[in-house]
Amino acid sequence: MRISVLGATGPSGLQTVLEALDRGYEVVALVRNPDKLTVTNDKLQVCKVDIFNEDDLVPHLKDSDAVVSCLGGTASLFGWTKCTLYTDSMRSIVGAMRRSGVKRLIAMSAWGSAVTENEPFLIKWILRPLFIGNLLNNLGEMEEYLDKEGRDIDYTVVRPPGLSDQPSSGQSVRAENGRQFLDNSLTQISRRDVAKYMLDAIQDRSVYKACVAVGYDKST
């Protein structure tokens, strides 16, 4: 398996790179600043790219079995300003995938990327209005873009709850297709466990062209 990982120097991207290497995959890490990725491995190639430049991405995606996007913004950067990170980067990614002949895409999103009834209190009354509303809005726009203009791409959007830097918990990750959040689920999940799910999903045709909410069951 050969995968290209975007956002590999971020906390979720790093865990994805490490998990993929542990599985023996070949990994092409596409980053803005290669010096920030200190991992070394014979199966790891680190490439400096502009994620908003389709031409820049194309040569680094060729021969990959899948593209995994762990790109993410921060509340401090987009809390009170419009965020277009996810849509702008996804247009470049999809264009580069078409040109390089890669069909499989896994992209991280989040619980609450669209407003729904009965969403958790934390999202509805705290995170959305006070902290990351602009990030969530743009994640929803990214998902809408894939649904309307990326149907030739075998994408899976993975929506986790809050992310922690704890090691893998050993718990099973529950996943439900088409959900914005999971009932009876903890509101945090280890980044490493999300990485495991995303890599497992690469070969899972049941989640092609789908958005999937993931989390831990409270009962486990």
Model confidence pLDDT, tens digit, residues 59-105: 999 999 999 999 987 654 445 577 899 999 999 999 999 999 999 99
Q: Which of 187, 180, 194 is nearest to 136 (CA)?
A: 180
**What pLDDT shows up at residue 76?**
47
Architecture of domain 2-215: 3-Layer(aba) Sandwich (3.40)
Residues of the chain with pLDDT > 70, as a percent, come to 89
How far apart, in whole angstroms, are the C-alpha atoms of residue 37 and residue 20?
15
The mean pLDDT value of the chain amounts to 91
How many CB atoms sit inside 10 A of residue 52's CB? 14
Q: Which two tokens stand for residue 132?
A: 């990351």
To 5 degrees, how large is the angle CA 120–CA 157–CA 114?
A: 35
Q: Which two tokens stand for residue 26?
A: 């070949």
How many CB atoms sit inside 10 A of residue 90's CB? 27
Please identify which residue in the block is written with the tokens 């049941």: 206
Domain spans of the chain, in order of start: 2-215
Model confidence pLDDT, tens digit, residues 137-169: 899 999 999 999 999 999 999 999 999 999 999
Residues, the chain, total?
220
